[in-house]
Amino acid sequence: MECTGQNSSLWNHTALVEFILIGFSDVPNLQGFLFGIFLIIYVFILMGNSLIIMITKVDPSLQTPMYFFLRNFSFSEICYVSFTVPRLLTDLCRQHGNISLLACAIQMYFFLILSATECFILSAMAYDRYVAICNPLLYSVIMNDRLCMQLAVACWSTAIPIHTLLISVVFSSTFCGCNQLNHFFCDAPPVVQLICGDAFRVEMLLYMISALLASIPSSLIVGSYVKIVSTILKLPSATGRAKAFSTCFSHLTVVTLFFGSAIIVYFKSTTSRSTGVDKFLSLFYTILTPMLNPIIYCLRNKDVKVALEKLLQKCIVL
């Protein structure tokens, strides 16, 4: 049912009990093609990130803080996509996207927590690169096992109470009007738009939390890289500068892709939203970035490439 004309007045007086995820139903002829593409990408994400986890866990040369955080990041990517892509694939198969408020709340809750977790892990990785390049003699002392574990626990747990508050506020509100979400999963901005009554209060809370969870990691990352670049430029050897920059390239690429698209979606004003553009950008940070992560780290990181080659040689021998 479309939310236009006479139907809109009916929706406006009806409290909602479920949402309809429009997803990609506006291109019905491409449903099968999109299912195949997203399935291949999802399998690649699972396999690629699982491979990174396995390599960084078993290879002795990769038992460093840098790869400890990379392992955490890859695991978060697997969890991250698993709360969105399977549902998208199911909706493409059955060609309708009815989702209850409870299921929507659960999906949004874990998606937001894992998104924030990735932001914090990326900032921990930036701090690790800062210590390695700016304080190389003290690196093993500063980045000890205890600190790495404390940083990992903080990355995984910090967003839980914050997003518990946000989800409780959003889903304790009354939803009325059109129940159609022009999206392929329960992302926060389109859901908040369906709140009737004091929606402005909830939208401001969403912006405040998004700003907090984006500004803290991004500030730490920018601050770390200002120090890193300053230190690298002081190196006397061009080879040394190139090597130092190469160790940061993979991380910077992932940071740019993830933060760039997410910030555009979450900080655009409601009046300037284009649901088609938002949906495309959401695909970028929910599916394409997790897919690119294994490619970036395997192709641009010499240590991972060497470890992968050794693993393949062992598999061939067996």
Domain ranges of the chain: 6-317
Reading the block at residue 304, the tokens are 């991972």
Give the pLDDT confidence score for residue 157 in this predicted structure.
Answer: 94
Residue 173 contacts residue 202 (beta carbons within 8 Å): yes
**Lookup result for tokens 């892509």:** 85
Distance CA 235, CA 299 (A): 26
**In whole angstroms, how far apart are CA 158 and each of 22, 83, 91, 129, 211?**
32, 19, 32, 22, 15
Reading the block at residue 115, the tokens are 């998104």
Lowest mean pLDDT among 134-138, 196-200, 224-228: 196-200
Instruction: Give yes or no for residue 270 having a pLDDT over 50.
Output: no
Region for residue 279 given its phi and psi (left: phi exceeds 0; alpha: psi -120 to 50; beta: otherwise): alpha
Calculate the CA dihedral of residues 34, 40, 42, 43 and round it to 10 degrees: 160
Mean pLDDT computed over 16-30:
80
Mean pLDDT computed over 211-237:
86
Instruction: Give yes or no for residue 149 having a pLDDT over 50.
Output: yes
Instruction: Give yes or no for residue 145 having a pLDDT over 50.
Output: yes
Categorize the per-residue pLDDT at 311 as very low, low, confident or very high, splitting at 50, 70 and 90.
Answer: confident
Categorize the per-residue pLDDT at 5 as very low, low, confident or very high, splitting at 50, 70 and 90.
Answer: very low
- DSSP letter at 30 equals G
Q: Where are the alpha helices (DSSP H) in the chain?
A: 6-12, 31-58, 65-82, 85-94, 101-134, 139-142, 145-157, 159-171, 188-192, 199-233, 238-267, 275-283, 289-300, 302-317
Reading the block at residue 270, the tokens are 């409601």
Instruction: Give yes or no for residue 83 having a pLDDT over 70.
Output: yes
- Among residues of the chain, what percentage have pLDDT more than 90? 29
Instruction: Give yes or no for residue 284 having a pLDDT over 60.
Output: yes
Distance CA 288, CA 221 (A): 22
**In whole angstroms, how far apart are CA 310 and each of 4, 137, 317?**
60, 29, 11
Answer whether CATH 1.10.1370.30 is correct for domain 6-317. Answer: no
> CA nearest 23: which of 136, 258, 190, 140?
190
Give the pLDDT confidence score for residue 269 in this predicted structure.
Answer: 46
Give the pLDDT confidence score for residue 279 in this predicted structure.
Answer: 74
Instruction: Give yes or no for residue 89 having a pLDDT over 60.
Output: yes
Mean pLDDT computed over 286-310:
77
| Average confidence score pLDDT of the chain | 82
Give the pLDDT confidence score for residue 8 in this predicted structure.
Answer: 44
Tell me which of 153 and 291 has the higher pLDDT. 153
**In whole angstroms, how far apart are CA 92 and each of 280, 295, 300?**
16, 27, 34
Mean pLDDT computed over 106-119:
92
Mean pLDDT computed over 236-265:
74
Give the pLDDT confidence score for residue 10 in this predicted structure.
Answer: 44
> CA nearest 178: which of 162, 166, 194, 189?
194
Categorize the per-residue pLDDT at 299 as very low, low, confident or very high, splitting at 50, 70 and 90.
Answer: low
Give the pLDDT confidence score for residue 266 in this predicted structure.
Answer: 65
Cβ neighbours for 254, distance < 8 A, ≥ 6 positions apart: 122, 289, 292, 293, 296
Give the pLDDT confidence score for residue 267 in this predicted structure.
Answer: 64
Amino acid at 227: K
